[in-house]
């Protein structure tokens, strides 16, 4: 059995039961805003499971922000300061919230304070493939990873009519996942996290299972900008659905289709909870498929002669 399949088998088995684990210090954020239904329900579930949760969430919904930062100043407001709550509203993006959270807690508690885990979510909606670059939810998790903190991004293919019970199911799965990961692995490899997508099934028994997913640059939704029909010199966002919700390959190339079936975008639409390993390091790692290119690139760069600018 492949190693990743063995790990997944253990994960699936352990997610079926509650395991006694130690309390984790968790920094919780999202990109849908502090008042969004999903995040408070996840907070409550984590606290009920015995974890120490610190909330740093945007004041308003800020979708599609990736890992954008707010510079040079950020307004931060503690919720119910009279009760010494561990919740703050941040007038900034999810990535900003993570950095503010790390800085704030080090100022308030201890200069060496660091959370055991960053969780970004629950997000109402999801991205996949090339659209992942634009996800604020992923931006929050990747920012945590860049600071050496294991991080999870929690997204959903939520139903049209989203209810609290749906988000409670998602939150309960996240709690089980967090506790199981701690029990099985003790700690994540440095710089590695998970992107989780929960399917639109409204009851846990309707979910097909939990699977380790791949990525695919093809996604059924693309974005571009077109000239406005009514306002001169103005561009408007254009959202294009390149295939319907049931087709596997309509609109995809043959190469796309070969890996699409194992991508998180397709698996979640098939009813599975998907887990995609992520990392903050965007550098291209050498493999047998690109070693010739990387070797040639190194030689080319080392032998380039810089040109002297031509005087005007």
Please determine, for residue 38, whether its predicted confidence score (pLDDT) is greater than 60: yes
% of the chain with per-residue pLDDT over 90: 43
Per-residue model confidence (pLDDT) at position 16: 41
Q: Which residue has the higher pLDDT, 245 or 26?
A: 26
Q: Is 3-216+252-279 CATH 3.40.1210.10?
A: yes
* Separation in Å, CA 47 to CA 55, 168, 305: 11, 13, 60
Contact (CB, 8 A) for 175 and 240: no
Give pLDDT tens digits for 50-108: 999 999 999 877 777 777 787 888 898 888 766 667 999 999 899 999 999 999 888 88
pLDDT band at 220 (very low <50, low <70, confident <90, very high): low
Higher-scoring residue by pLDDT: 116, 307:
116
Q: Is the pLDDT of residue 248 over 60?
A: no
Which tens digits make up the pLDDT trace of 139-162? Answer: 999 999 999 999 999 999 988 787
Domain extent listing, the chain: 3-216+252-279
Distances (CA, A) of 193 to 83, 91, 212, 271: 33, 26, 13, 22
- Tens digit of each residue's pLDDT (9 = 90 or more) over 277-306: 999 888 888 888 888 999 999 999 999 988
**What pairing do the DSSP bridges indicate for beta strands 209-212 and 52-58?**
unpaired
Report pTM.
Answer: 0.81
Burial of 291: CB neighbours in 10 Å, binned 0-12, 13-18, 19+:
exposed
The whole-angstrom separation of Cα 210 and Cα 274 is 6
DSSP label of 125: B
* CA 176 and chain centroid, separation: 18
């Amino acid at each position: 059995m492949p190693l990743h399949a063995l790990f997944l088998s253990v994960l699936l088995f352990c997610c079926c039961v509650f395991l006694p684990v130690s309390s984790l210090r968790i920094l919780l954020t999202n990109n849908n805003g502090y008042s969004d239904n999903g995040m408070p329900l996840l907070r409550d579930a984590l606290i009920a499971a015995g974890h120490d949760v610190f909330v740093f969430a945007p004041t308003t919904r800020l979708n599609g922000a990736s890992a954008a930062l707010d510079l040079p100043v950020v307004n931060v407001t503690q919720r119910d300061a009279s009760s010494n709550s561990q919740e703050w509203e941040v007038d900034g993006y999810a990535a900003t919230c993570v950095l503010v959270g790390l800085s704030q807690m080090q100022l308030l508690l201890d200069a060496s304070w660091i959370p055991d885990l960053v969780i970004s979510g629950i997000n109402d909606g999801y991205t996949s493939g090339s659209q992942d670059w634009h996800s604020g939810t992923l931006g929050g998790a990747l920012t945590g990873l860049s600071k050496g903190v294991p991080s999870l991004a929690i997204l959903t293919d939520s139903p049209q009519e989203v209810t609290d019970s749906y988000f409670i199911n998602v939150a309960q799965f996240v709690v089980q996942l967090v506790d199981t990961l701690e029990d099985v692995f003790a700690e994540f490899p440095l710089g590695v996290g998970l992107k989780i997508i929960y399917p639109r099934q409204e009851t846990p028994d309707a979910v097909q299972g939990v699977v380790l997913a791949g990525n695919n640059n093809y996604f059924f939704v693309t974005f571009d900008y077109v000239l406005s029909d009514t306002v001169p010199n103005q561009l408007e966002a254009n959202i294009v659905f390149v295939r319907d919700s049931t087709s596997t390959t309509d609109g995809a190339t043959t190469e796309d289709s070969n890996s699409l079936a194992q991508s998180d975008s397709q698996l979640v639409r098939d009813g599975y909870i998907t887990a995609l390993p992520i990392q903050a390091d965007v550098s291209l790692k050498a493999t047998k498929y690109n070693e010739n290119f990387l070797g040639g690139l190194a030689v080319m760069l080392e032998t380039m002669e810089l040109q002297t600018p031509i005087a005007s």
